[in-house]
Amino acid sequence: MKFIFENDLPHQRAAIDAAIGVFGDTIAGSQATFSVAPLEIVGKMELAETGVGISNVCSLEGEDWLPHIQAVQQANALEPDDAFDSPDFTIEMETGTGKTYVYLRTIIELNRRHGFTKFVIVVPSVAIREGVRKSIQQTREHFASQFDGIRLKDFVYDRTKLGRVRAFATAADIQVMIVTIQSINSANNVFYDPNQEALGDQAAADWVAKTRPILIVDEPQSVEGGLKGAGRKALAAMNPLAMFKYTATPVNVVHTLYRLDAFDALQLGLVKRIWVDGASIRDATNSPFVRLVDVEARKGHAPRARIEIHKQFANGPKSELVWAHDGDALKQLSGGRALYDGLEIGHLDAGTKTMQLMLPGDIRVMSCGDAHGDSTGDSLAAAMVARTIEHHFRTELRNRPLGIKTLSLFFVPTVADYRIYTDEGPKMGPLVKIFEREYRKLAARPEFKTLFVTTPANPESAHGGYFSQDKHSVTPFDDREFSKSTGDDKIEERTFDLIMRDKEKLLDEAVPLRFIFSHSALREGWDNPNVFQICALREIGSERSRRQSIGRGLRLPVDNNGLRRRDEGIARLTVIADTDYATYADELQIELEKETKRPFGRASIEVLARLYYPTAGSNDPKVLGVKEARAVFTGWEEAGLVDALGRLTDAMRKAVAAKTVPLPASLGPEARLAITALLDRLSAKLIFNTENKILVERREDVIASEVFRNLWAKVSARTRYHLKFTDEDLTAKAVEYLQKMPDPATARVTWASAELIIARDGVGTKKGAVAAPRHIEHFAGPLPDILSEISTRVGLPRKIVAQILVRSDRLLWAKTNPSAFVELAHKAIKLARRDVLTQGITYERTGDQYDQSLFAQFEADADDLIAVEHSPMTYIRVDSNTIERPIADTLDHAELVGLFAKLPPDFKIETPLGTYNPDWAVTSMAAGPAMHLVSESKSDFTTLRDDEKAKIQCGVAHFQAIGVEYVKAVSAEEILAKFTQEKS
């Protein structure tokens, strides 16, 4: 099978034209010559001996470049640069959209259009170098058919074959040198050594520099090594005529000529749709788990680390991302969990992205993605491997009848998890055993048996791996960067060839290899169009890791005829993650914001300019462009709808809600709809009310009236409570509750999938299916100090807690799942204390009162307010439109009601379970002494939480102590009935 390359895809054509167009009208065929002999002996040698070198030449100098740069940027909906810096250009293309094809074709068209012949492709790794060589081989016939037989003369720079550099300099046809940055980025490298006989005692770098090559830099963020990095110096040493940087994740950008980012690629259907099947782990919090996600240093602030821990919440511990600084105690960060006692954050290094974790008697240095105390690691890995295989089999059932081979890719935490290198040769790591076991189990399921009708299930031949260590043992490279393989490594050699060199063969159904394992060697520069599943086993967390990991499978799939398949139901990549999909989406958004340096949720000129919308009579969407985008944005900025950074103002939110956002009259209906839809998305998370806020004011005349003063004097008395119970009462009740508790659950993982919606307003999710839980851990570690943990949580002496646990006869549960047992015991004691505290509670007056100043003016959304007449405030804020709103309206119009008030939030009655805020205070319209009452309104008092019931019970006791009627009501009629009963 051969890949079929499509000619002139619109997005690829635009990227090619961007590079060609920046040279303007440079005449094709122009070139310069130079002597290839040492300068000091030129003239003493015959021309045949000296030879002639050929270099690229261009008439553009300095600011001459700027108008061409601006024209290209305008054509590609990019904000034009104001000034020229250097002929250093960025072509931003999302992974999987044909970046390598684009720059190889660009080389040919630069030669045809402008006559350039000397090109150097610089890559960050051997893996990418091999990918480039493979792409040149794959496209050779395609380009020859397109361009009258033109073929690239390519070679890999090899320090042992420097004569090839001489041929590069003297040849008149298209010359392409491929070089890894590691082979030229040190000052003492042979590349810079002038004592080279094969080069006439000149350095290879000097020969290359004289040709004024055009540099093609693949993945520049990994080549340059920062603004002052050795890689950047090595690039400059080649004296390039121009430099084109091709990447999906640009860092040091000078002039961007073309941008096809992740948002464009997904919207245009150029890559697979992305689904995440995320793990939600339950009841697996029995160890002091710490995972380092990121280390950052903001200007003017000390470094801080983003870590994942098991933090204590009201309903039990759960995974949480928190910020930590040097010296922070993890016990405090975790909400007081005793098992984190003695663990602290040490030195943080934002440069190396490392963190010291201070352990009792030890210090561990953690890198991003590292985890400590992960008792579920092995069992979670097994669950993730099994889930990946299951997805793979289901995808294969769909793909095989369509002639599409299915591949899956695993990123492993360490190389030794898959392959262990020994003196006797590579050995299997623990993940191999896990994979083969889970493969056999799943292959035996009836639903997958049709996959193995002609070829029996064979897990040993279904998987293989490639790792950077392979360069020393199993990789058959033919240059001196790597050692030759031994005869014992033939299986690994063939695996390497399939993965790195024979991608077409790998896509043959007859080849059994389907599951590929790697660490980081395949992170950049390698991908395969038929990777449909990617499983990252505890390898997510470092900068760009999600983008780079996902990128290995974004390319559209091909069938056995080599044709791309854009079918929406087929082009789908599933990422199996060790976090739930919502967390994965949030962290991917953080990565995207860091990489693009473009915060989500803003309506900048750039965002508007790259807004795609359909047009009548065309299948290709149109882009708004810089001119129209600037007109739109300027109008909004002048109207105060956005600030200079594109952030939406309150005025914009109101205009969006009222559909009065101003747009230029020149815009067509399709463009107007696209902009309106964008604004709806940008403001969706910001608009909570579509009306103006209303100021709720005090009615001073009502507050000064005798009716209100009498009501307030009656209901505003403060009290203190008294409790009457014994330790035995509490112990007996807690034992009763604990004995009724269900068995503590074992640790388990549940898979829930969702499609990632990656748009310029953020990364969202569209929920899919939820799988049945799988048990992942059987606790076998040392039993933690559960007595101290429970005692601290409930605030009771250890002696009482110990009595409860012993008398409950449930201590054996602690051996099954200590953390879950602590939660059950905590809940049982909490329920017991609620019962004994509230059943015998009494209140007495303190002599103090709540002040009238609690009725203070405030602003609220109109949707939450109802205008009233017979109340101390002009409006009443209601918490429910179905209960409180009709109650307020009825009381305001009822003849029996003289005055009523919604009690302010700070009107709080103290209870042993926290404060309680009742709803209404009402006084009757009576001829004699007025009746005063307080009411609690709920839709259903039979379905309240136990804590709510207990607090209401305390409220009854409080108002009984001050002599005020207390009413529980689901409607205003039940409140009014009390007045009727009193009157009768």
Q: Which CATH code is given to the segment(s) 693-721+844-983?
A: 3.40.1350
3-state SS assignment for residue 865? strand
Q: What confidence score (pLDDT) does residue 262 get?
A: 80
pLDDT at residue 484 is higher than 60: no
What span, in angstroms and rounded, lies between the C-alpha atoms of 473 and 58?
46
pLDDT at residue 646 is higher than 80: yes
Q: pTM (2 decimals)?
A: 0.65
Q: Please tell me if the domain spanning 10-267 has the same topology as the one spanning 693-721+844-983.
A: no
What span, in angstroms and rounded, lies between the C-alpha atoms of 392 and 396?
6
Helices 10-21/99-114 angle, 10° precision:
40
Q: What confidence score (pLDDT) does residue 479 get?
A: 33
Confidence of residue 779 (pLDDT cuts 50, 70, 90): low
Confidence of residue 930 (pLDDT cuts 50, 70, 90): confident
pLDDT at residue 483 is higher than 90: no
Protein fold of 10-267 = Rossmann fold (3.40.50)
Q: What confidence score (pLDDT) does residue 423 get?
A: 76
Which tokens belong to 561?
Answer: 């005829």
Interstrand relation of 371-372 and 407-411 (parallel, antiparallel or unpaired):
unpaired
pLDDT in tens, 227-264: 678 889 999 999 999 999 999 888 888 899 999 888 78
Confidence of residue 746 (pLDDT cuts 50, 70, 90): low
Which tokens belong to 841?
Answer: 């509670």
Sign of CA dihedral 238, 244, 246, 247: positive
pLDDT in tens, 461-475: 999 887 766 654 443
Beta bridge partners of 89: 244, 255
pLDDT at residue 426 is higher than 80: no
Which tokens belong to 638?
Answer: 């002048």
Residue with tokens 């990656």, as numbered in its chain: 758
Please name the residues in contact with 270: beta carbons below 8 A apart, sequence gap of 6 or more: 11, 94, 96, 97, 260, 264, 556
Interstrand relation of 858-861 and 693-696 (parallel, antiparallel or unpaired):
antiparallel
What span, in angstroms and rounded, lies between the C-alpha atoms of 887 and 970?
9
- Give the percent of the chain with pLDDT over 70: 87
Mean pLDDT of the chain: 84
190-232-19 Cα angle (round to 5): 110
What span, in angstroms and rounded, lies between the C-alpha atoms of 902 and 825?
39
Q: Contact 875/696 with Cβ under 8 angstroms? A: yes
Question: Which of 343-352, 478-487, 854-863, 923-932 shows the lowest mean pLDDT across its residues?
Answer: 478-487
Q: What confidence score (pLDDT) does residue 335 get?
A: 86
Confidence of residue 127 (pLDDT cuts 50, 70, 90): confident
- Give the percent of the chain with pLDDT over 90: 39
What span, in angstroms and rounded, lies between the C-alpha atoms of 506 and 529?
11
Q: What confidence score (pLDDT) does residue 486 get?
A: 35
Which tokens belong to 613?
Answer: 């919308």
Q: What confidence score (pLDDT) does residue 688 get?
A: 41
Q: Contact 542/353 with Cβ under 8 angstroms? A: yes
pLDDT in tens, 60-92: 999 999 999 999 999 898 989 999 999 999 999
What span, in angstroms and rounded, lies between the C-alpha atoms of 905 and 72?
61
pLDDT at residue 374 is higher than 70: no
Which tokens belong to 319?
Answer: 């995974």
Q: Contact 184/191 with Cβ under 8 angstroms? A: yes
- Which has the closest alpha carbon to 675: 611, 591, 585? 611
Mean pLDDT of 413-419: 81
Q: What confidence score (pLDDT) does residue 229 get?
A: 80
- Which has the closest alpha carbon to 484: 476, 492, 493, 494? 476
Half-sphere exposure of 29 (CA within 13 A, CB side): 0
pLDDT at residue 111 is higher than 70: yes
What span, in angstroms and rounded, lies between the C-alpha atoms of 216 and 240?
10
H or E element at residue 980: helix 972-983
Domains of the chain, by residue range, sit at 10-267, 288-372, 377-450+460-596, 605-684, 693-721+844-983, 725-839
Q: What confidence score (pLDDT) does residue 269 get?
A: 83
Q: What confidence score (pLDDT) does residue 393 get?
A: 97
Neighbours of 876 (CB within 10 A): 25
pLDDT in tens, 680-706: 877 765 444 434 578 899 999 999 999
User: Phi and psi for 628 in degrees, rounded to 5?
Assistant: -65, -40
Q: Which residues of 385-402 are buried (b: 16+ CB within 10 A; e: fewer)?
A: bbbbbbbbbbbbeebeee
Helix, strand, coil percent content, the chain, rounded in steps of 5: 40, 25, 40
Q: Contact 442/386 with Cβ under 8 angstroms? A: yes
Looking at 153-289, which runs of residues are DSSP E strands? 153-156, 175-180, 214-218, 242-247, 255-260, 273-282
- Which has the closest alpha carbon to 808: 862, 861, 759, 737? 737
pLDDT in tens, 512-559: 999 999 876 566 557 788 999 999 885 544 444 677 777 788 889 999
Tell me the residue type at 161.
K
User: Phi and psi for 528 in degrees, rounded to 5?
Assistant: -140, 135
pLDDT in tens, 609-626: 888 888 877 777 888 988
Confidence of residue 45 (pLDDT cuts 50, 70, 90): very low
User: Phi and psi for 251 in degrees, rounded to 5?
Assistant: -120, -70
What span, in angstroms and rounded, lies between the C-alpha atoms of 261 and 606?
12
What span, in angstroms and rounded, lies between the C-alpha atoms of 818 and 199?
72
pLDDT at residue 428 is higher than 80: yes
pLDDT at residue 843 is higher than 80: yes
Residue-by-residue DSSP string for 642-686 = B-TT-PBPHHHHHHHHHT-----TTS-HHHHHHHHHHHHHHHHTT
Q: Contact 3/562 with Cβ under 8 angstroms? A: yes
Q: Contact 320/308 with Cβ under 8 angstroms? A: yes
Tell me the residue type at 612.
Y
Neighbours of 664 (CB within 10 A): 13
Protein fold of 377-450+460-596 = Rossmann fold (3.40.50)
pLDDT at residue 163 is higher than 70: yes
Please name the residues in contact with 941: beta carbons below 8 A apart, sequence gap of 6 or more: 968, 970
pLDDT in tens, 180-231: 998 898 777 889 988 887 788 888 999 999 999 999 999 898 898 776 788 8
Q: What confidence score (pLDDT) does residue 380 get?
A: 77
User: Phi and psi for 866 in degrees, rounded to 5?
Assistant: -135, 130
Neighbours of 709 (CB within 10 A): 12
Q: In this predicted model, which residue has the larger pLDDT, 733 or 774?
A: 733
What span, in angstroms and rounded, lies between the C-alpha atoms of 253 and 750?
43
pLDDT at residue 40 is higher than 80: no
Mean pLDDT of 842-862: 92
Q: Which of 124-133, 345-354, 859-868 shows the highest mean pLDDT?
A: 345-354
